[in-house]
Amino acid sequence: MNINADFVEKLRNSGLRPTKQRLKICEVLFNTEKTFHFTINDLSKIIKEKVNEKISLATVYNTVHAFKKKGYLKEISINSDKSYFDTNTSVHHHFYDEDTNQLIDCHQNDIGNISIKKNVTGKKVNSIEVLIKVKNNNQN
């Protein structure tokens, strides 16, 4: 278990105890080639189906929020019904496919630089996020 040792270290370094539940969730979230977007529901479905481990829904919530707080996950709000999480924690923008409800990363180089000419007085800019909603060409 080479990869597992990495996650143990990662968790320990964050002050999180490496429990088997957290390690399983790490595997699902971070042991992939590409980053991805998911809802809590997606995640618990993946755990149920692909992993031989029953993790309480409360633990999934706890863990996702713990990972978000440690900066290993990002939360993305597209509509108020569901909350999306992102394993890509870098500053980046998103396409949102309104037909399929899918989030797609939009890399910095796919979009012109964004300059804020006038800011709110007495405040510092914390993040700039662009959301591009796309739809099918054919009218429905």
To the nearest 10 degrees (0 to 180), the angle between helices 20-30 and 57-69 is 70
The residue count for binding DNA (CB under 7 A) is: 26
Does residue 1 touch DNA according to CB under 7 A?
A: no
Task: Decide: is 140 part of the binding site for its own copies (CB under 8 A).
Answer: no
Q: List the strands of the sheet with 74-76, edge to edge.
A: 37-38, 84-86, 74-76
> Binders of DNA among 31-50, rule CB under 7 A?
39-41
- Alpha helix segments (H runs only) across 33-95: 40-50, 57-69
User: With binding defined as CB under 7 A, does residue 59 bind DNA?
Assistant: yes
Q: How far apart are CA 96 and CA 133, in angstroms?
A: 5
Q: Pick between residue 9 and residue 75 the one whose CB is nearest to its own copies.
A: 75
Chain residues that interact with DNA, rule: CB under 7 A? 12, 15-22, 39-41, 54-59, 61-63, 65, 80-83
